[in-house]
Structure 1
Amino acid sequence: MKTLRQLAALTILAATTLSAQAHRPFLLPSSTVTAGNTPWVTVDAAAASDVFFFDHMPLKLDALIITAPDGSKAKPENSSTGKFRSSFDLALTQTGSYKLSLVSDTLMASYKENGSQKRWRGSAENFSKEVPANAEDLQVTQRSSRVETFVTNGKPGGKALEISGSGLELQALTHPNDLVAGETARFRLLIDGKPAANAHVIVIAGGIRYRQKLDETLLNTDASGTFSIQWPSAGIYWLEAEIKDSNNVKAPAKTRAASYAATLEVLPQ
C-alpha cells in the first residue's frame, strides 16, 4: 500500500508540474545504432506530456520523410496508428546514417464571425476557401515544425544529415549517433539555412514520470547558432527549440513560429 501511495503522489506531482507544458512530439526508434545484414528498427511516433511515454496522441505519418545514407528516400513498412502512438518498421538496407523526419508547414488563424471566436488550421491553399473573407480580428500565423531522430547502420556517414535550408533545423557538428555520457557534443541551429543566433534550446532526459523534477537543461545558441552540451548520463534525450519572428512569412500570415524536436540516444562510456 505504501508503494501505491507513493506512485499516486508522484503521479499528482507530475501532473501538476507538467500541466502548463505543451505536449511534446517525438520519434522514438527501438535502436539508434545497429549492425549486420539489413537490420531493422521499429519507430514510435507520438506527442506526450512525459516524453517517450504514450499518454496523449499519435503523430500522423503522412509527412514522414526517411533519408537514406545515399540521399535517397526510404520507405517505412508495417505502418499503423493506434490510440496513443503511430508505429512503423524500417529496413536499414544501406550502411551509414539515416534521418527520420516528420515535417509540416501549416497556417493557424483566429478570428471572429458574427461575434463568435473561431479558430482554424490548415494549408495555405485552403485558407481562402475555409476562412471568411470578411473575418473580423483576423490573426494568421505560419507554423512549421520538424520532428526528427537518427539511426546508423554500421559506420556513421552519408548524405542524410545534409540541411534542406527550410524551416528550423539541427546541423550536427557532433554526429547524433556518436553521443557518449560525460562527453560534450556540439550542434548548430539553423533557420532557413542561416544561423539561428540567441535561440533557446531545451534538453530533457527521458524518465520524467519517475522523478520529481523535470531537470531540463536550458541552453542558448551563440552568434553562429552553435551550442554545446555535456551529457550527464547515458539514456534517451529530447531536444527542442522554437523561434518566433516575421521573417520569410508568406501571405496571408504576418508572423511565423518554427519549431524543432529531436530524439537523441547517449551511450555509456
Structure 2
Amino acid sequence: MKKFSLAIIALMTSLVAEAHVPFLKPNQFNVTHHRLTIESAFTEFPFQADFAMDSPNFTITSPQGETTAIRPIAKTKAAVYLEPELKEEGTYRISTGQRVGPVYKAVETADKKLYFAADMQRVTGKPTTMNYYSYADTYIFKGQQKYVAKPFNKGLEIIPLASPNGLLLGGELSFQVLENGKPVPNARIIVVSDNEHFIKRRVEDLYDLDNVRTSNIHADQQGEFTFHPQKAGLNFLFVTVHHQLNAQLWESQNASLTLEVNLPPDTQGKP
C-alpha cells in the first residue's frame, strides 16, 4: 500500500510539471457517417492528447434540449473515446460535465493570485491548497444546424450565442462565459489554433495567469465576447476562474470549448 501511495504521488508530480488543459475532439463536426468518435484528454498543446480525461458525467444534449448520459467505448492511457448516437437532425452538445480533480499544493501571492504546478517556482507567497475542476464541451450536428443556446447553468461554461458549427474563416461568433448560470465579468479567454506550436515556439503555459498571448480575448461585464478566428481548422477556447473558499483552500474552475472553423465558399471563377 505504501509503495502504491508513493507511486500515485510520483505520478501526480509528473502530471502537473506543467498545467494541462482539458479538451474534447470529434473526428467529424458535420456528422455524415456512423463512424463518429470523440476523443477526451488533457494536453499542453491542443490537440495532442497527453493523458486520458475520463469523467463520470459525460453527456449528450439533443436538439430538443434533452440531456442523457453517455459512456466511453474505449480507454487508453492517453485518451478516452466516446461514440454517441445521433438519432435526429440538429445540433448536439457533447460535455464531460464536471470532472473533479485532485487537491494540489499551490501558492497564494500578496495580490491574491493563485499559482500551482511549474508556476509555483517563479512566485513567492503563502502556501495553500487548490481543488481543480475541469469541464470540456464541443458541438456537432447532423443534417440541418438547429441550435438554441441551452446552458446547463451549472459549473463553468462557454456558451455560443449562435450556431457554433457555422463559423467561417473571416467570420465571427459571439459567446458568453457563465458560472452556475451567472455571467463571469471580464473573463479571460485563451484562444489556441491546432498545431500552432509548430508555427511559433510557445513559452507560456496556457493556464498561466500572467500569459499575455496576443490571441487572448477578454469578456465584457456580461461575460460576453466575440471570437474572430485567425486560422481555419480546430480552435480551442479556454477559461479559468479562481475562488478562495477559506484561508487554506482555493478552487480552480476550468472550461474549454472545441470549435471547427471552415474555409469560406470558393467563389472564384463562378458567376
The TM-score normalised by the length of structure 1 is 0.71
Alignment-derived partner of residue 262 in structure 2: 267
* Distance in structure 1 (CA, Å) of the matches to 2:226 and 2:93: 21
Aligned ranges for residues 225-264 of structure 1 at < 5 Å? 225-246=223-244, 254-264=249-259
Q: 1:253 to 1:157 in 2, by over 3 A?
A: farther
Pair 84,225 (structure 1): closer, same or farther in 2 beyond 3 Å: same
| Cα distance, 1:70–1:174 mapped onto 2, change above 3 Å | closer
User: 35, 38, 48: which one pairs with 1:43?
Assistant: 38
Cα distance in structure 2, aligned partners of 1:208 and 1:192: 32
Pick closer, same or farther for the CA change 1:241–1:87 going to 2, 3 Å.
same
- Pairing partner for 1:180 from 168, 174, 192: 168
Determine if the alignment matches structure 1 residue 108 to structure 2 residue 103: yes
Query: Which residue is equivalent to 2:86?
Result: 92
The equivalent of 1:4 in structure 2 is none
Corresponding position of 2:220: 222
1:1-269 superposed matches below 5 A: 21-35=18-32, 39-54=34-49, 56-74=50-68, 76=70, 79-102=73-96, 103-105=98-100, 108=103, 139=128, 141-157=130-146, 161-214=149-202, 217-246=215-244, 254-269=249-264
Q: 1:78 to 1:145 in 2, by over 3 A?
A: closer
Counterparts in 2 of 1:145 and 1:241: CA distance versus 1, 3 Å: same
* Distance in 1 between residues matched to 2:248 and 2:102, nearest whole Å: 7
Task: After TM superposition, give the deviation of residue 44 of structure 1 in Å.
Answer: 1.0
Structure 1 residues 254, 22: CA separation in 2 closer, same or farther (over 3 Å shift)?
Answer: closer
The Cα shift of 1:237 comes to 0.7
Aligned-partner Cα distance in 1 for 2:151–2:248: 25
Instruction: Point out where structure 2 has 5 or more consecutive residues left out of the alignment.
Output: 1-15, 107-125, 203-212, 265-271
Aligned alpha-carbon RMSD (Å) = 2.9
- List alignment gaps of at least 5 residues for structure 1: 1-18, 112-136
Residue pair 2:61, 2:92 contacting (<8 A) in 1 also: yes
Deviations 1:62-92 (A, max 9, x none): 3211112222345647711112111121221
Question: Hey, what's the Cα distance between the residues in 2 that align with 1:207 and 1:221?
Answer: 25
Q: Percent identity?
A: 22
Residues 58, 109 of structure 1: alpha-carbon distance in 2 compared, 3 angstrom cutoff = closer
1:9-43 deviation digits (Å, cap 9, x = unpaired): xxxxxxxxxx975222211001111247xx44111
Partners in 2 of 1:95 and 1:68 — Cα distance?
9
Contact persistence 2:23–2:41 (CA under 8 A): yes
Larger radius of gyration: 1
> What's 1:127 paired with?
none
Q: Give the number of equivalent residue pairs.
A: 219
Worse-superposed segment, 169-178 or 139-148: 139-148
